[in-house]
Every structure is written in C-alpha cells, then in structure tokens.
Amino acid sequence: MLLVRHISFYFVGSILVLFLGFTVTVIFAAIAINPKTAAATDYLSSTYLNTPPPVLEVPLTLKIVTFNIADGYLFTTNRHERIRAIAALLTKLDPDIVGLQECFIASDRQLLVDSLKDSRLRYHADYPAATVGNGLFTLSAYPIVEQYFHRFQANNPWYKIYQGDWWAGKGVGLARIQLPSGAQLDFYNTHAQAGRRDDDNRRVRDLQMRELSAFLNESRSRTAPAFIVGDFNTRLDRPDLQYAIDHSGLKSVVTIDTGIDFIFAMENGLYDIEAVDTQTIEGSAPGSAAAIFLSRAPSPRELWKMWFGAGEETPLSDHTGYVSTITINIRASVSA
C-alpha cells in the first residue's frame, strides 16, 4: 500500500513538474514572440495620403457590421459550427463591410472565407501581430487597396497572462476600400483593452483611446468617407471613449443601444452620414461540445467540460453583433 501511494505521488508530481515546465517554456517563448508585428504599419507611406482619392459624387447606402465572434483556442468551444453559422447569417444579411473581432485562429478565418463563397464578401484583411494575433478581421464586398495597422503601445503587462489581452497585441486596423464609383472609403476595425474590474486596465484603455484617435487623424485620407467599428470595451458616457469622439470627430451611426460595441462615422465636412436602421446579429448552432465562452484562462473543471462535455446548442458568440444601414450624402457646398 505504501508503495502504491509512493508511485501515485511520484506520478502526480511528475505530471505537475511537466505542466509547470511546459507553462514556463510557453511564457518565455511568448515573451520573445509577442513584440513582433507582421502587419504593415508605415501608413505615412500611403499613396492616398499624398494623392487623396476623389470625393464621392453620388449618395451611397451601406450596410456595415461589427461583431466580436469569440473565436480562440482554450476559451471558446464549437468554433467550426459557429463559424459556419456566422457565415450563413452574413450571407443572408448581405452587408457591404464587416469588422470582426476575436477572430484569432488562421484556419478558422480561412473556414469563414470558404463558407462565404456564395456571398459578396470576397475581400478580406487581417493584421498579424503578437503571439496569438489581435483577432481583427475585415471583410468587404469591394476591393481592399491598402491596409495598415497601429498596435497599441499601451497594453496590460505580461504577468497578467491569465487575462489574455497581453497575448493579442491589440490595436486598430485600417482597410482602404475601392468603391464601384472609383471613390474610396476608409474602414477601421479595433478591439480595446478589457476592464475586468481592474483599475490598471482602465488606465491602459484610456491611453489606447488616445493612440486610436491619433492614428485615425493621421492615417485617414480626408476626402473619403471613414468609419470605425469594434469592441471598444467601454461606453459612450465614459471619458476614455469621449476623448476619441471629441478629438477625431466620431459620430455614432447606430439607432439602438449597442453596449460596448460601436459603429462610428468620422465627420470631415464633405458628407452627411446618418444611420437609417440597426439590427442585432444573434443566433445559435448545434455544437459538438459543451457551449463555453470565457474571457480568461479556463479552470481545470472548465477544461474538462470543454474536452469531454456533451454537445450543446451553442450561441454564435458571447457578444451580440450589429448591422447598421447607413446613408452617405454629399453636402450641397461640395457638389455645387
């Protein structure tokens, strides 16, 4: 009996040592990889900053989507079922431009692209950065002629690994989109620091909103209509978001309360941009595993349920998506 206990203790101890060793190895490897940003960042070299595209000459109506789809390893389940259902829903909604957040996994992004083959969303842009990527993915019915990324310098520290934000290299991605008329549109997609009831995180997000505002002001072409969508992890009545609104001329183009997920237009004196209608994007799909969505590292019990739990009907995401129908009209002083 004593021998059995000794063997069991040795076995458990060996597993624990291996797990800790693996964890430490992953952390140190991530610290080496995390600072890297593979996305294009030199927006000052943009052709369209030096030679602005032509202004829009006729009114335009667009359907724009923002949706945090919670697609990532270890903290969500039923990814493939949800991706296919999201693609089917986007095909039915038929938007012009889509900004997705937490679309972290390259193979799932490809599955989404493949599943959208019968839709108009034939163009896409992602912004590779950091250990797991920032999860930003933009889809468009029109060609994307340029793309740039600003990675937030402000981020929560590496030792808060369990929170997840440090791994992602969060920031804001720009896609310049060529419209059928020959004019262009500047489309930004972002995902800011989550609060998690942590005052330090809120201070990080405050700095991120200042970085975001500076990037918007410096990188947009000025003659093109411009929009920014995303999971801002803050609300309209809070000072961090209000700073970006005030300093970058952001105007909400939704007709309902969208919580922390927003669609903004950027006013530039050339266009009157208004929201006509906004709808929620929700739904579910049959899942092969338990339906789990986490915003932190899973507990052992949660891991067990993820790996071995019975299949459940799963929501498309732990976020609601939004699609807004928006009109862009040319101001009389511009068209005269």
Alpha-carbon gap, residue 286 to 14, rounded angstroms: 39
Q: What is the dihedral of CA 94, 96, 100, 104, to 10 degrees?
A: 90
- What is the pLDDT, as a whole number, of residue 164? 78
SS (H, E, C) the chain: CHHHHHHHHHHHHHHHHHHHHHHHHHHHHHHHHCCCECCCCCHHHCHHHHCCCCCCCCCEEEEEEEEEEEECCCCECCHHHHHHHHHHHHHHHCCCEEEEEEECCHHHHHHHHHHCCCCCCCEEEECCECCCCCCCEEEECCCEEEEEEEECCCCCCHHHHHHCHHHHCCEEEEEEEECCCCCEEEEEEEECCCCCCCHHHHHHHHHHHHHHHHHHHHHCCCCCCEEEEEECCCCCCCHHHHHHHHHHCEEECCCCCCCCEEEEEECCCCEEEEEEEEEEECCEEECCCCCCECCCCCCHHHHHHHHHCCCCEEECCCCCEEEEEEEEEECHHHHC
How many other C-beta atoms lie within 10 A of the C-beta of residue 252?
A: 15
| Digit-coded pLDDT (tens) for 173-212 | 999 999 999 999 999 999 999 988 889 999 999 999 999 9
Confidence at residue 19, expressed as pLDDT on a 0 to 100 scale: 47
Q: Considering the entire predicted model, what is its pTM?
A: 0.91
CA angle, 205 then 210 then 215, to 5°: 120
Confidence of residue 335 (pLDDT cuts 50, 70, 90): low
Q: What distance in Å separates the CA atoms of residue 302 and residue 15, rounded to the nearest whole number?
A: 19
The residue assigned the tokens 């990080």 is 204
pLDDT of residue 250 exceeding 60: yes
Residues for the chain: how many in total?
Answer: 336
Q: Which of 173-182, 208-217, 248-257, 299-308 has the lowest mean pLDDT?
A: 299-308
At 55, is the secondary structure helix, strand, or coil? Answer: coil
What's the pLDDT tens digit per position in 76-127?
A: 999 999 999 999 999 999 999 999 999 999 999 999 999 999 999 999 999 9
